Amino acid sequence: MEHNQKIDDIIKQRFKEKVLSVKTDLGDVVIQVEKDAVKEVLEFLKKEPQDYSMLLDLTCVDYMGKKPRFEMVYHVFSLSKNYRLRIKCQVPEEDPEIDSVSGLWKNANWLEREVYDMFGIQFQGHPDLRRLFMYDGFEGYPLRKDYPLRKRQPKIKLRK
């Protein structure tokens, strides 16, 4: 817990106006930052001496009806210090774009493709942003809360 208290002070000091809030949730520090600062904050955390070298997960949350609608959540882990950290940022529905972190962690490539496929968030600078689970002709984003449950999808043509 001591390291987590230090890291939140370091982040607040380094990224003063870009940090919107810092809180502790179930023993993990959760840092809410501006959308345009996410990549910079994560890059800073990955380097020594912070050493949050492992991206455990990145995902999206749909808060339909709220402004901004989407929230990106990044879970990072420091192997050397055995601490987790959660970075969050809000993404508006009108401009569902955020910088890619696939250049920082290789597993972000697939995780960002999943978020793109399921929620429609665009990742600027992603090397291969295309659908991961749904076929190319699939219409819409199935994990958005306004996606119609009984939506009929166009038929796909199978290759012979």
How much is the average pLDDT of 137-142? 91
pLDDT at 5 over 70: no
Cα angle vertex 51, ends 50, 56, to 5°?
A: 120
Q: Is residue 157 a part of any domain in this protein?
A: no
User: Whole-angstrom Cα distance, residue 95 to residue 103?
Assistant: 22
Residue 31 pLDDT grade (very low, low, confident, very high; cuts 50, 70, 90)? very high
Q: Is residue 150 a part of any domain in this protein?
A: no
Q: Is residue 55 a part of any domain in this protein?
A: yes
Beta strands in the chain (DSSP E): 19-25, 28-33, 54-62, 70-78, 83-91, 97-99, 122-124
Q: Number of folded domains in the chain?
A: 1
Q: Is residue 133 a part of any domain in this protein?
A: no
Percent of the chain with pLDDT over 70: 95
Domain around 21: 2-124
Residue 152 pLDDT grade (very low, low, confident, very high; cuts 50, 70, 90)? confident
Read off the pLDDT of residues 66-86 as tens digits, 9 standing for 90 and up. Answer: 999 999 999 999 999 999 999
Q: Is residue 142 a part of any domain in this protein?
A: no
pLDDT score of 37: 97
